[in-house]
Amino acid sequence: MNKELKLITADVKQNTATTYTNNYLRMREALGVTDKRKSVKSIGLDKIEELLLDDELNANARAGMLTITKKMFSSENDKERVDEIDTKIRQHKREHQVKKNGELTETLPTYKEMVNALKKVEDPRKYIINWLFIHANTRNADIALIDIHRSIPSRPVAMDELDKERNHIVLVDGHAVLIRNVYKTAKSYGQKKNKITSRAFIDKAREYLGDELDLPLLTTKTGGSIPPASFGAYLKKFRLMDLTESQIMKVVMKHVAEKGSYNMLRKVSQNRGTSISTLLQEYDISNIQEPSTELKGEAEG
């Protein structure tokens, strides 16, 4: 076991080595390999494939174990078989997602219903949160770390000097500026700024601030910052139509698909800081199939 594990974790950083080790040990347990003298590789790819395609296996665990499999079976002789397993896993994931999304299509509201429900929201904080989910395509973390500021002549807000460890909404000159420093893919996409001109949104933001110039959108009961592990729990009571952030994204993506607008798709991608391919893979509920590799010309006859 130790020899096999050393080969798997060779030449990687400590954090990666720890992740590989945990996935390797999880894989041994799932395969029932209790004898420390026995390697996982000796079990063979047939048994490993059976494990990786098990419906009961968590998606993250499957991905981690697949990485370990590729490390163990890295020779040219094994490459084709491992690639086949990888392809089967991708197909399996897509089939599961299409089935799940098909069920969601029957239970989720339409985009119009969702937007109309938002218009009826009176609580300013609930309105701000769900407006950003729908129109700025934000995630829970983006929202939970927002501070709202009012810029006035006697105390203008210097946007470049705002806390880079927080996200911000600045009310200035009749519009709002959404500044996101902290979000899931910030390392890839950098700081994001959006100008918000919606009168309803601006009015709700002003209502939320009241006489204050600066207020966090969400805090703990003691007024502190919400810990990352609790973002979802704190946002739960502000749900629109009991929709999670992920479900709202699915409704938005269905709306984009129905409109058939590449510009809308590109805008959502830019807003969220997510590639178009990932958006289609994770949030499309219109049951779009994987692209075919078959090439066809115009109909002949």
Give per-residue pLDDT as tens, 131-155: 999 999 999 999 999 999 999 999 9
Per-residue DSSP letters for 193-233? EEEE--HHHHHHHHHHHTT-SEEES---TTS-PPPGGGHHH
Give residue 236's pLDDT. Answer: 94
Average of per-residue pLDDT across 180-188 = 92
- pLDDT level of residue 283 (50, 70, 90 thresholds): confident
pLDDT surpasses 90 at 262 = no
Residue 109 near residue 190 (C-beta atoms within 8 A): no
Residue 289 has pLDDT above 60, yes or no: no
Phi–psi pair at 298, nearest 5 degrees: -65, 155
Instruction: Please report how the helices 76-107 and 276-283 are oriented relative to each other, as an axis angle in degrees rounded to 10.
Output: 60
Evaluate if residue 298 carries a pLDDT over 80.
no
pLDDT at 291 over 90: no
Q: Determine the average pLDDT of the residues in 288-298.
A: 54
With beta carbons less than 8 A apart as the criterion, state whether 10 and 21 touch.
no
Q: Indicate the pTM of the whole model.
A: 0.66
Average pLDDT over all residues of the chain: 87
For residue 98, pLDDT beyond 90:
no
Res. 94 pLDDT band, cuts 50 70 90:
low
Q: What is the pLDDT of residue 105?
A: 56
Kindly tell me if the per-residue pLDDT of 293 is higher than 60.
no
pLDDT higher than 50, residue 301: no
pLDDT above 60: residue 3 = yes
Position 130 confidence tier, pLDDT thresholds 50, 70, 90 = very high
Q: Find the mean pLDDT for residues 163-172.
A: 97
